[in-house]
Amino acid sequence: MKVSGPVPVIVFSALLLAAPLVLDHYWLDVLNSIGLYTILGLSLNIILGHAGMFNMGHAAFYAIGAYTTAILNTRYGVPVLWTLPISGLAAALFAVIVARPIIHLRGDYLLIVTIGMVEIVRIALINDIFGITGGANGIFGIDRPELFGFKLKRPQHFYYLIWLFVGMTVLLFTSLENSRFGRALNYLREDDVAAEGSGINTAVYKLAAFALGACWAGMTGTIFASKMTIISPESFSFWESVLLFMIVILGGAGNIAGVILGAFLVIGLPEIFRDFSTARMLIYGLAMMFMMIYRTQGILPPQPRVYRLDRVGEDL
Amino acid sequence: MEQFFQQLTNGLAIGGIYALIALGYTMVYGVLRLINFAHGDLFTIGAYLGLTLLTSLALTEHLSGFLGVGLLALMVMGLVSLIGILLERIAYRPLRESHRLSAVVSALGASIFFQNAIMLIYGAKYYVYPQNLLPNTPIFILGMPIPLMRILILLASILMMIALYLFVQKTRIGTAIRATAIDQAAARLMGIDVNRVIMIVFCIGPALGGAAGMMVGIYYGQINFTMGWIYGLKAFTAAILGGIGNIPGAMLGGLLLGVIESLSSAYISMAWKDAIAFVVLILILIVRPTGLLGERVAEKI
């Protein structure tokens, strides 16, 4: 199953562009969810796939972004799209503060700490921390985004906004993967002692990976908040983090195409299994298990880097 | 003082239950380096099986309360360990040689499967355990009335932990389990049947978890198909707190977590109870990165 070259990308993009012409609102909304989870999955992929840090609390950063937008918009009237960079920065700042003391923890210990982080954030939101999060009911009345005087409100509008964001993310993260930064992350994933010995400041790179992943999750939070116009703590539970974790590992950790496929499977399958009515999640659990057993490295594992002999010495 | 003592004993009883579940996590982690996310659901299955057997066999009416509940607990433990063995065969064995996180996703899939299987079989409503299975007269300790149930739960869990500790430390199979945990390849070369050891671990862990599920049913009186998530998460926290892979660590972590939760909900805030448990965990891990009793992993350089 070797997928490479520009052809699949072009076909896939064309299909996505044409989708709103043939799909009804329900399926368009499913695709919107898949798009949001794709961005979240890609952002988690930086932390989990490339840097190899077990983060099962990614929904916390998503929540910070969504709540930043909701609070700024409903309390201070800041237009939604203006809050996009602010949400990203807020989530990144949060990630740096939280991750700084725990960054050195070994795999499974980091896993439970990130689970703890997402639970603490959720409980703090429910308990109306600082009196601005609206408690268990959340915040409602968030504006729709407005672009050059055009208000996005129909599912089709959000569809193009979300998938445009996906496209930009893919472009950016692809070049990031092949940059010095991406290679450094892969190195410290394989062996962080050797990476440290080769002059990579592992603590800084790990923190940077966390900050970048969190920043993207925060910006996704902005889009989610303006799409739903109402957000509550239950949208950002531990379960969301588990879904994101499954998207990355099942799709293929460290591979962008894999993560996109993972988002389609993990988010799309429950919709396809709707015919099984109450048994659909049962089938879903089995499907997750057997897909993982069938493709133990993920469905689309990353291809190893290729360095051609005749190009040695050229600047990569 | 009275309130403190009540909360302390309540915390110890819940902590005993956490410790029993945590042992399942820690033993599986010890031999397979796998976080068995489906373990919480095996605990739920134990609670439901216990209820079904209680109501259908009516053992407690024919025998005395203690004997009946004891026999039922043994049956539940046997059944849940069978499910545990099947789980390992189907969901984990094919992934043993692949990346660790692949098995975690398989475990999550199994967890979703179990949860929905329970929901389909029993329905989504809360179930109530029969009351007055065991005499629940308060016992006076230092002049303070402590419900007998608490003491029984704590005693039963401590008894099982001691039995497990002796089994792992003193018997041939226990030695094989410890050897496999240290180095699987070397254990295999020494003639240990590693597959059998893993099977035994997947027998003991779920059995203890199933027993804990029944205890929760008897102690709190009601059960629900989603309760495995939260108990599983708490027990996993306890296992990490004590140092995952370490059996006394899981016991210590469980009891400690139960007491912390119980005292913080009484003296600090009920709404922040779960958050406080996690904050304590994070603080402990910052100071001791491998948990309270976790092995000190020397830095490679």
Give me A113's structure tokens: 């700490």
Q: Looking at the predicted complex, does its ipTM rise above 0.90?
A: no
Judge contact between A14 and A167, C-beta under 8 A: no
Q: Topology of B2-124+142-287 in CATH?
A: ABC transporter involved in vitamin B12 uptake, BtuC (1.10.3470)
Taking an 8 Å cut-off on Cβ atoms, the answer to whether A112 and B281 are in contact is yes
Q: Give me the half-sphere count of Cα atoms (radius 13 Å) on the Cβ side of residue B2.
A: 4
* DSSP states of B183-216: -HHHHHHTT--HHHHHHHHHHHHHHHHHHHHHHH
Taking an 8 Å cut-off on Cβ atoms, the answer to whether A249 and B101 are in contact is yes
- Rounded to the nearest angstrom, the minimum Cα separation between A237 and chain B is 12
Residue among B108, B237, B290 minimizing CB distance to A288: B108
Task: Return the domain boundaries, chain B.
Answer: 2-124+142-287
pLDDT band for position B59 (cuts 50, 70, 90): low
Judge contact between A50 and A209, C-beta under 8 A: yes
The per-residue pLDDT for B172 is: 93
Taking an 8 Å cut-off on Cβ atoms, the answer to whether A296 and B300 are in contact is no
Judge contact between B264 and B278, C-beta under 8 A: no
Question: Residue A17: helix, strand or coil by DSSP?
Answer: helix
Report the Cα B235 to chain-centroid distance in Å: 6
Determine which of A93-102, A201-210, A232-241, B126-135 has the lowest per-residue pLDDT on average.
B126-135
The 10s digit of each residue's pLDDT in A25-42 is 888 888 999 999 999 999
pTM: 0.88
For chain A, where are the alpha helices, taking DSSP H only?
A: 6-22, 25-44, 59-76, 83-99, 107-126, 155-177, 180-190, 192-197, 202-228, 238-251, 256-272, 280-294
The 10s digit of each residue's pLDDT in B64-100 is 677 878 888 899 999 999 999 999 999 888 888 888 8
Partner B contacted by A115 (CB < 8 A): yes
Taking an 8 Å cut-off on Cβ atoms, the answer to whether B271 and A281 are in contact is no
Taking an 8 Å cut-off on Cβ atoms, the answer to whether A124 and B102 are in contact is no
Per the prediction, chain A carries an average pLDDT of 86
Q: Span A239-244, mean pLDDT?
A: 90
Would you give the DSSP letter of residue B94?
A: G
Residue among A102, A119, A285 minimizing CB distance to B116: A285
Phi and psi angles of residue A216, each rounded to the nearest 5 degrees, phi first: -65, -40
Nearest CA in chain A to B281: A113
Q: Span A53-82, mean pLDDT?
A: 89
Q: Span B176-181, mean pLDDT?
A: 91
Q: Span B265-285, mean pLDDT?
A: 84
Name the nearest CA neighbour of A262 among B110, B229, B105. B105
The 10s digit of each residue's pLDDT in A38-63 is 999 999 999 998 888 888 989 999 99
